[in-house]
Amino acid sequence: MLQFAQWCNHSPLAEAIRDSPWIFPTLEIVHLLGLAVLGGTILIVDLRLLGIGLKQLSSAQLAAQVAPWTRAALAAMLTSGALMFTSEAIDCYNSQPFRVKMVLLLAAATFMFTVRRRVISSGTGASSSWIDRLAGITSLGLWAGVAAAGRAIAFW
């Protein structure tokens, strides 16, 4: 793990990002814009699961509507995130919040593509069952944790 971080940190790509005054800020901006879009698409579906958002469409229909935007935002976040990591891989390796963020990210993404997906596709429509609500609140909690831990990287 440490060796991988060192290899990243010393790669020409990492040096290029560090040497440029504008690449890192641009990556941060892409990461934030991705956060906004991803946050929106996740909220639309999770609020529906909780029964306190849109009701005209089922969770499955809403999830299908936002799917391309979720994928695009995830791609933007993962790409910009990976590049930022590369440029300061050793710092990240030593950062406790970064480790927490990666664990939460893994948990949130796994939950999204397994349990949440299944709950959404088995939803009956009109009302929210307790399983729907539990899935919605778990998803919101995990993603909020990812965002909070991400913010904390800069502080500790």
Partner 1 sequence: MVQEFCRWLGDTPWSVGLRESIWIYPIVETAHVLGLALFAGLAVMLDLRLIGLAFRGIPVTQFFARVAPWMWAGFTLMVISGALLFSSDPVRLQGNVFFAIKLLLIALAGLNAAVFHVTTYRSVAAWDVAAAPPRRARLAGLLSLTLWAAVISLGKLIAYARS
CB 66 to partner 1: min, Å:
7
Cβ nearer to partner 1, comparing 11 with 107? 107
Which residues ranging from 9 to 68 are in contact with partner 1 (CB under 8 A)? 25, 28-29, 32-33, 35-44, 47, 53-57, 61-62, 65-66
Cβ nearer to partner 1, comparing 102 with 152? 152
3-state helix/strand/coil string of 102-141:
HHHHHHHHHHHHHHHHHHHHHCCCCCCCHHHHHHHHHHHH
Query: Which part of the chain contacts partner 1 (CB under 8 A), choosing from 3-11, 77-85, 125-133, 146-154?
Result: 146-154
Task: Find, among 33, 66, 73, the residue nearest to 47 by Cα.
Answer: 66
∠ at Cα 65 (61, 69), nearest 5°? 145
CB 127 to partner 1: min, Å:
15
Which residues ranging from 64 to 83 are in contact with partner 1 (CB under 8 A)? 65-66, 69
Q: Residues interacting with partner 1, by CB under 8 A? A: 25, 28-29, 32-33, 35-44, 47, 53-57, 61-62, 65-66, 69, 143-144, 147-148, 150-152, 155
